[in-house]
Amino acid sequence: MPAPYHQPDPLHFAWLLRKIRRVLRHAWHTVNLGCRQAWHAVRLLCLLARLRPRADSLKRFYLIDPSFRENFGLYDALSRRLRAECAARGWVFIHLTGPFDRWGTDRLSLFFAAALLPTRIPPEHERSPRELRELRRADARALRHFSRRLDAVLALDRWFLPAGDSYFYFPTGDLLYLYALLDKSRPGPRQHIVSMHFNVPCDQAQTRELRRLVCQSRLLGRRLRQPVVASLSIRLGTDVPALQRLLAPALGSSCQLLHFPLLDPAEPDALPLPASLASRPYAWGYFGYASPKHGWPVIYRLLQNAPAFTSRGFISINPQPGYPEMLEEAKTAAMAAGNSFHFGYWADGEYAAALARCAALLFPYDRPPYAMVSSGKLIDALRHACFPVVPAGTWLAEAVQEVGYGLVVQEQDWPEVPRQLATLDFPALWSDRRLRVRDFLQQFTAANLVASLSASAR
């Protein structure tokens, strides 16, 4: 008797076809990435070989940036300003990037994974034990790939250019990256490694997550104090004093306070004059996202109470997925109250011009995410003499208190901010604090960063 005929299940066939396509896409991506990184490795070899005749006096600055995205915020600012500073000093600048950088002609894409480890990515739902195990395996793979690539770069730099100092600056790293590097290799006597901007929990109110960070720093601190490692030039840096205070007991003198080069060299000396604040068309401004983290619910509640704003304001919202339904309603309410509304990203020049039209800037950020995280927008505000209004218990509040220019607000006091701003004499306040702000902003230049690294290497 013939075997029964089984009609193929179309759903199973479609699922199988999708899986095959996914495997082929992954294989193509892996081969393409491998070929591209092999080509960039050859370019690095050729570059170091060309530099070898000048090895005796040549200094090198390696920007290790696996998360680099062109024309995207901090990554682009770091690259441009550090490249310009190295050119001014006669140093060689070498920019090593990762999987998000596909077509850079003046960059070398050598790393397989971005700097943010998979387990540090904020979960949208509670993860199962199986998912956590997979993420930890992905963490281990990322750390292995990073240490192997950087170990190869260290070896090539030592072999081709044995004389002269070289600086390896890793600005967006995690403590685990440096720990993985120490497990595998050792830098040479004239190679200086600086890893900074430790990834802290998104919700820093989670005691368990902060405890994990402290435990990692203790393990790393013990390794850094071992005689073999202590003789090496390895430094850790953070731009947030609160984070330095938290980790310094474990990391000791290895933990330095360093700031990102957010400003061009001439910008701190080119601050606006006090008289310019009297003629600004907007008394306040908000530049951010329509998300709780960036304080949008506070702005929305203030707009609902439109009479509280006795003067014109400017609201600029950057696009992002999952916008709340109230955004269109808030736009209508803002414009009805005489405020201006902008949706979308700005070009650099347009962004600077928009800031220069606001006398004050509101930062109603949610406190837990910003307790130990800096914000470049605050530096932008001070650069343009905007009076910053910031939440208490954050890095922004510490910076405002240091310069004495701005208003620190408790969470329950935000409804009173419009009335407080209406009573302030912005030109007089800026006149009193302008020089103090200038001295503070000098820390946020590439010249200051490179000078700090050079001093620590002596």
Residue 12 lies in a domain: no
Q: Does 349 lie in the same domain as 301? A: yes
Give SS3 for 116.
coil
423-432 contacts, C-beta under 8 A, 24 or more apart: 424/360, 424/387, 426/277, 426/278, 426/359, 426/360, 426/387, 427/274, 427/275, 427/277, 427/278, 428/274, 429/387, 429/405, 430/272, 430/274, 430/277, 430/385, 430/387, 430/405, 431/274, 432/404
Q: For position 322, what pLDDT does the model report? A: 62
- Choose between 12 and 59: higher pLDDT: 59
Q: What is the mean pLDDT of the segment spanning 244-260?
A: 86
Q: What is the mean pLDDT of the segment spanning 233-237?
A: 86
Q: Does 303 lie in the same domain as 251? A: no
Q: Does 362 lie in the same domain as 339? A: yes
Residue 49 lies in a domain: no
List the 313-317 sheet strands across, edge first. Answer: 340-343, 313-317, 284-288, 360-362, 387-391, 407-409
* pLDDT above 70 (res 109): yes
Give SS3 for 418.
helix
* pLDDT above 90 (res 206): no
* pLDDT above 70 (res 309): no
Q: For position 12, what pLDDT does the model report? A: 61
114-145 per-position pLDDT tens digit: 887 777 766 655 677 788 788 888 888 888 88
Q: Does 302 lie in the same domain as 243? A: no
Q: What is the mean pLDDT of the segment spanning 315-326?
A: 73
Report pTM: 0.85
Residue 339 lies in a domain: yes
Residue 206 lies in a domain: yes
Q: Does 389 lie in the same domain as 294? A: yes
* pLDDT above 70 (res 218): yes
Q: For position 402, what pLDDT does the model report? A: 94
Given pLDDT bands bounded at 50, 70 and 90, which one contains residue 34?
A: low
324-381 per-position pLDDT tens digit: 666 777 777 777 767 788 888 888 889 999 999 999 999 999 888 888 888 899 999 9
Q: Does 223 lie in the same domain as 79? A: yes
Distance between CA 288 and CA 308 in Å, rounded?
Answer: 21
* pLDDT above 60 (res 5): no
Q: Does 287 lie in the same domain as 232? A: no
Q: What is the mean pLDDT of the segment spanning 235-244?
A: 89
Overall number of domains in the chain: 2
Last residue of a domain, one of 258, 282, 306: 258
Q: For position 358, what pLDDT does the model report? A: 94
CATH number, domain containing residue 78:
3.40.50
Q: For position 405, what pLDDT does the model report? A: 96
Q: Does 357 lie in the same domain as 230? A: no
167-182 per-position pLDDT tens digit: 999 988 788 888 888 8
Residue 22 lies in a domain: no
Q: Does 285 lie in the same domain as 253? A: no
Q: What proportion of the chain, given as a percentage, has pLDDT over 70?
A: 86
Given pLDDT bands bounded at 50, 70 and 90, which one contains residue 11?
A: low
Last residue of a domain, one of 192, 226, 258: 258
Q: For position 7, what pLDDT does the model report? A: 54
Q: For position 395, what pLDDT does the model report? A: 93
Residue 50 lies in a domain: no
Residue 62 lies in a domain: yes
Distance between CA 256 and CA 240 in Å, rounded?
Answer: 10
CB distance 373 to 395 below 8 Å: yes
* pLDDT above 70 (res 297): yes
* pLDDT above 60 (res 66): yes
414-440 per-position pLDDT tens digit: 988 988 898 999 999 999 999 999 999
Q: For position 76, what pLDDT does the model report? A: 83
Given pLDDT bands bounded at 50, 70 and 90, which one contains residue 383?
A: very high
Given pLDDT bands bounded at 50, 70 and 90, which one contains residue 210?
A: confident
CATH number, domain containing residue 390:
3.40.50.2000
Q: Does 362 lie in the same domain as 238? A: no
- Choose between 89 and 38: higher pLDDT: 89
Distance between CA 95 and CA 98 in Å, rounded?
Answer: 10
Q: What is the mean pLDDT of the segment spanning 72-82?
A: 84
Residue 276 lies in a domain: yes
- Choose between 457 and 313: higher pLDDT: 313
Distance between CA 357 and CA 285 in Å, rounded?
Answer: 9
Q: Which of 76-80, 117-121, 302-306, 328-332 has the highest mean pLDDT?
A: 76-80
Structure tokens that stand for 31 in this block? 């081969």
Last residue of a domain, one of 208, 226, 258: 258
**Residue 236 domain boundaries:** 57-118+132-258
Q: Does 370 lie in the same domain as 248? A: no
Q: Which range (227-236, 242-251, 303-312, 402-411) has the least confidence?
A: 303-312
Q: Does 342 lie in the same domain as 216? A: no
Q: Which range (53-62, 134-143, 211-220, 435-444) has the least confidence?
A: 53-62
Among 419, 423, 391, which residue's Cα sits nearest to residue 297? 391
| Mean pLDDT over the full length of the chain | 83
Structure tokens that stand for 377 in this block? 């927008």
- Choose between 227 and 447: higher pLDDT: 447
Q: Which of 212-221, 259-268, 285-294 has the highest mean pLDDT?
A: 259-268
Q: What is the mean pLDDT of the segment spanning 222-239?
A: 84
